[in-house]
Amino acid sequence: MTRPLRSALTRSTLKWTAMGVSAFALLAVAGCEQTTRQTEAGSSYEDQASQTEATVKAEPVETAEPPASTTQSRAAEMLRGGDDATPQQAKEFLEAAAKDIEAMNEYASRAAWVNANFITEDTAWLLTKASTEYAEMQTRLANGAKKFNDIKLPADMERKMGTLKRGSNFPAPETEGSAARLASIMTKLDGLYGKGRFAVDVEDKRIIEILDTNEEGDDDFGKLGEEAPKGTIHLGQATKIMAESRDPELLQTIWEGWRTISPPMAKDYDTMVGIVNEGSEELGFKDTGALWRSGYDMPADDFTKEADRLWGQVKPLYNQLHCYVRFELNSEYGDEVVPLDKPIRADLLGNMWAQQWGNVYPMVEPKGFNAKSVDITALLIENEYDQEKMVRTGEEFFTSMGFEELPDTFWKRSLITKPADRDVQCHASAWDIDDKEDIRIKMCTTITGEDFQTVHHELGHNIYQRAYQDQPVFYKTGANDGFHEAIGDMIALSITPEYLVKIGLMDEEDIPSAEGDIPILLRQGMDKVAFLPFSLVVDQWRWQVFSGEISPEQYNEGWWELRTKYQGIEAPADRPADAFDPGAKYHIPGNTPYMRYFLAHILQFQFHKAACDMSGFEGPLHRCSVYGNKDVGERFDAMMKMGASKPWPDALEAFTGQRTMDGTALLEYFAPLQVWLEEQNEGRECGWDMPEE
């Protein structure tokens, strides 16, 4: 599954997101990359895929430096008086902060929307200005909130203060010049990634074959050797080679090549860690990792254990998948390249970070299943669906559950079809411009099964945004940061053959029998199950870096220790002494937290199972669709309209009846696959040893 490349400007908005708005998402608005992350604007949610597969085509557009902020902060004005914090003062501060945030959200969202829909120098300038102002506001509000650290406030006010203190995931200390220094380091790190290119042999036939034969209409990759500097390739091209090549030698070259962009980041990264740790301590947190983990309504250290508990639940399924895939790759590549008792080489799994393995599915596809599969793309074409009809069908999914129709403005203002005459950011995203009714999506929809799913997913974000529109601005976001993407994905899980029949896309007699579903579950598991340990490792590493458990000298070693421990993968060869491999994954230099993706992958199945149980569905969970069920819709709405106003267990309970996150629903969904994998793996030596110290 190829994902659209991020345009240069997407990258600049991402930077903004990382520093400001998306962080604010945590606080009040929202946040989404490929896994409920708010990537772009005040209230936009981008599909998770882009987050995890951020790829860049060209260098960021250079824009002139916008002027410094001129906006007045009501909340900051308010605090200018005396230093004695009182509950009354806290109340007034929060009221003023809410006004600041509301005004800034709408302004920043509009700037981001215009930029994403009309990519020009000027809209990039406007967006940079808005994002700078946004970040400044967050810093002001966080510093304002901490003045009330020592007084006892009513629980709701305490909760709102918490969202302000977590407003930025990368807080600067108050010392003169720190904020500017931090911003410049973060911009530099982001730029090193965005501009990352590395040299390849442009005469290499294996590379030419992959990069020079673009499919019709696919202009994402450019011609080899044409882009400056000549003889180098960018991440988008490297990604394509990683996905398509089956030549271990070439894969290793490209994999190692991309990792030459990150060693220059290591020193700055270390400096940045020092600055944000100081900023986090000033706000009252032990370190920045503790600040991040404070957003889960439990003590920071308990959340560390909670993440490991969830992983422990799903690990047996992952281990079976790992064992099966290693065996199949071994049959293709032999013992030399894929020894059966070692971790799998990270460059052989079809993805630059070995985070999702779907691209090598053809190499592991099970034999002997003759069941006809459902080709949604063909059905859409056969039934003459156009882009709008796809979105109308998605809307109907929600109205069938009792939700209101989308507002007229949605249809007037959304971007659904790629315009012919201008540059836009094509990556699918969902937006909430005014924190009320002005919800929109932006996607260059193609008539494919993949985009049919994406439509349902993006509308899920919009429905969530609209559901919590009456909450105070502090709470206009997911119950915890895993919820938003999980909701979009949960809806997409309901796109079953039975659903396609109900909406008239398919004939009833064409429904395949569930026994033949192993290939479909395996294909899904190659992405969704393989992703679990990766999504855990990214922040495990950062938490340990922030706490000092991993020292700067151990950055790379620590990274690989975690990668091997959780994922069972290893580098194709010894890494150079100066390697900084974490920096070759966007979210590290892009400074975007990642735990939300892990949680979203757990929660989407938990939501799906709860909904299916409620509807009285009997049968395999992967065949359940909650289309048309108004009772499910009602309880779904009850959870969503809480936003983040209550601790997330309350929201989870409102929908599922459970107060803890639970990986067993994921296991139930993939149960037929797990049984099948265990049969395949019988007699095989599964697992791996950690490399010797």
- Positions in the binding site for Zn ion (CB under 5 A): 32, 45, 47, 485, 488
CB of 501 to Zn ion, least distance (A): 27
CB of 106 to Zn ion, least distance (A): 21
CB of 288 to Zn ion, least distance (A): 25
Residue 307, burial from CB neighbour count under 10 angstroms (0-12, 13-18, 19+): buried
Q: How far apart are CA 357 and CA 345, in angstroms?
A: 13
Please pick, among 133, 136, 458, 561, the residue that the annotation labels catalytic.
458
Question: In the annotation, is 174 catalytic?
Answer: no
- Amino acid identity of 507? D
Question: In the annotation, is 428 catalytic?
Answer: yes
CB of 46 to Zn ion, least distance (A): 6
CB of 615 to Zn ion, least distance (A): 24
Nearer to Zn ion, 169 or 465 (CB): 465
Q: Do 414 and 440 touch, CB atoms closer than 8 A?
A: yes
Q: What is the dihedral of CA 128, 594, 6, 15, to 10 degrees?
A: 20
User: Which pair of tokens denotes residue 549?
Assistant: 């458990």
Nearer to Zn ion, 123 or 480 (CB): 480
Contacts of range 509-512, beta carbons closer than 8 Å, 24 or more positions apart: 510/372, 510/374, 512/371, 512/372, 512/373, 512/374
Nearer to Zn ion, 7 or 51 (CB): 51
What are the backbone angles phi and psi of residue 234, rounded to the nearest 5°? -105, 180
Q: How far apart are CA 488 and CA 482, in angstroms?
A: 11
Q: Do 294 and 285 touch, CB atoms closer than 8 A?
A: yes
Nearer to Zn ion, 166 or 456 (CB): 456
Dihedral over Cα of 329, 332, 336, 340: its sign: positive
Residue whose structure tokens are 């990759």: 221
Nearer to Zn ion, 160 or 484 (CB): 484
CB of 535 to Zn ion, least distance (A): 14
Nearer to Zn ion, 253 or 477 (CB): 477
Q: Do 8 and 59 touch, CB atoms closer than 8 A?
A: yes
Helix (H, G, I), strand (E, B) or coil at 233: strand
CB of 430 to Zn ion, least distance (A): 7
Please pick, among 395, 485, 561, 668, the residue that the annotation labels catalytic.
485
Nearer to Zn ion, 40 or 581 (CB): 40
Phi-psi region of 593 (alpha: psi -120 to 50; beta: other; left: phi over 0): beta
Question: In the annotation, is 318 catalytic?
Answer: no
CB of 32 to Zn ion, least distance (A): 5
Q: How far apart are CA 404 and CA 688, in angstroms?
A: 51
CB of 440 to Zn ion, least distance (A): 14
What residues does 32 pair with on adjacent strands? 38
Q: Do 151 and 85 touch, CB atoms closer than 8 A?
A: yes
Q: Do 107 and 123 touch, CB atoms closer than 8 A?
A: no
Q: Name the residue among 25, 114, 81 with its Cα closest to residue 468.
A: 25
DSSP letters spanning 483-495: HHHHHHHHHHHT-
Please pick, among 234, 456, 457, 608, the residue that the annotation labels catalytic.
457
Question: In the annotation, is 427 catalytic?
Answer: yes
Question: In the annotation, is 587 catalytic?
Answer: yes
What separation, in Å, do the N-terminal and C-terminal C-alpha atoms of the chain show? 38
Q: Name the residue among 126, 98, 100, 102 with its Cα closest to residue 113.
A: 126
Please pick, among 597, 600, 610, 668, the residue that the annotation labels catalytic.
597
Residue whose structure tokens are 């559950």: 401
Question: In the annotation, is 654 catalytic?
Answer: no
Question: In the annotation, is 457 catalytic?
Answer: yes
What are the backbone angles phi and psi of residue 199, rounded to the nearest 5°? -75, 140
What residues does 440 pair with on adjacent strands? 431
Nearer to Zn ion, 47 or 432 (CB): 47
Question: In the annotation, is 234 catalytic?
Answer: no
Nearer to Zn ion, 482 or 583 (CB): 482
Active site residues per annotation: 427-428, 457-458, 461, 485, 587, 597
